[in-house]
Amino acid sequence: MAMTYSKKVMDHFINPRNVGELEDADGVGEVGNAKCGDIMKVYLKVKNGILADVKFKTFGCASAIATSSMATELIKGKPVGEALELTNKAVVEALDGLPPVKIHCSVLAEEAVKAAIKDYYDRTGTAYDAALFADLESEHEHGDLALTEDYSSST
């Protein structure tokens, strides 16, 4: 069964934005499941409450890479509190949709952003409602793996 991806998904897969890591990150979030192959790591640099820089490294399928790329684009330059409001639905809509069996990749992207923000809050001693981060322990399943770095060199 062949999957149909939108032009935006293919663009963010072939030319991912914000790939890499931040050595001096203010917050780092890693989510995923090595058994199924989806691992996403998001790095945040915060200046005056604004996400001044955001990077990601993802090991996963085309949808995982595309959702990581789009999620970083959606939150970069935003206040931390606004970035915390990112939803998987917003990521899917920004990519002009995903095949139903790949929606979980957008959930992974949302969780990686939340995990990085939680880490930032923990590092800075910022108080937060723990319920905001209650969904960070889910597992994800799918195959057709690709490593993000393989595609970043062509951009």
Please write the tens of the pLDDT for every residue from 47-88: 999 999 999 999 999 999 999 999 999 999 999 999 999 999
Arithmetic mean of pLDDT, 96-100:
94
Domain coordinates in residue numbering, the chain: 7-135
Arithmetic mean of pLDDT, 108-126:
97
The sign of the CA dihedral 65, 69, 70, 74 is: positive
Architecture per CATH, 7-135: Alpha-Beta Complex (3.90)
Q: Is 61 a catalytic residue?
A: no
- Residue written as token pair 């917050």: 27
Q: Which positions ≥6 away from 145 have C-beta within 8 Å?
A: 37, 59, 60, 61
Q: Is 105 a catalytic residue?
A: yes
d(CA 123, CA 137): 20
Name the residue with higher pLDDT: 24 or 138.
24
Annotated active-site residue in 3, 22, 36, 90: 36
- Amino acid in the structure at residue 75: I
Q: Give me the half-sphere count of Cα atoms (radius 13 Å) on the Cβ side of residue 27.
A: 30
Annotated active-site residue in 28, 39, 105, 113: 105
As given in the structure block, the two tokens for residue 38 are 């989806």
